[in-house]
């Protein structure tokens, strides 16, 4: 699992970057930076959304600190079938077939045969976006 996590500086954190908050991989949506006080250092308040469950997380750390970031890979897959609550996908490179839960925003978009992008981090996968429209 250590090869799936990288340590980065808080100064490298930008909107759209992935970080780990409370053991959950999240995508950064907002950053607020406070100026340093008379005896303190600058602080960063980072707001992020969970990659897999979509929960909102907030982190407050000094800007000179470090944070864990998940190693995120993006893969192409083809939709094999769409069920009531899940979608069956086939990896375009390894031909591995697996199921992912169907999200609200993807329910009308997915049909068998179209190509999609799947993001993978910390041993879990999630639907990202469609690549072809039919």
Domain ranges of the chain: 2-70, 73-130
Residue 3's pLDDT band (cuts 50, 70, 90): low
Query: What is d(CA 17, CA 27) in angstroms, rounded to the nearest whole number?
Result: 6
Written out in words, the top-level CATH class of the domain with range 73-130 is mainly beta
* Whether 114 contacts 92, CB under 8 Å: no
Indicate the CATH number for domain 2-70: 2.30.30.30
pLDDT (tens digit per residue) in 36-95: 877 778 899 999 999 888 899 999 999 889 999 999 999 999 989 888 888 899 998 898
- Show Cβ contacts of residue 38 under 8 Å, excluding neighbours closer than 6 positions: none
pTM: 0.78
**Does residue 35 have a pLDDT over 70?**
yes
């Amino acid at each position: 699992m250590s090869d799936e996590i990288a340590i980065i500086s808080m100064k490298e954190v930008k909107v759209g970057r992935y970080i780990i908050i409370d053991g959950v991989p999240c995508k950064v949506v907002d950053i607020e930076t406070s100026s340093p006080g008379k005896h303190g250092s600058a602080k960063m308040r980072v707001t992020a959304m969970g990659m897999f469950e979509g929960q909102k997380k907030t982190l407050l750390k000094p800007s000179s600190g470090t944070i864990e970031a998940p190693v995120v890979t993006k893969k192409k897959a083809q939709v094999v079938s769409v069920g009531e609550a899940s979608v069956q996908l086939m990896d375009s490179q390894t031909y591995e077939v697996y199921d992912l839960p169907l999200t609200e925003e993807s329910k009308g978009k997915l049909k068998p045969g179209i190509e999609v992008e799947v993001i993978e981090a910390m041993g879990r996968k999630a639907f990202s976006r469609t690549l072809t429209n039919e």
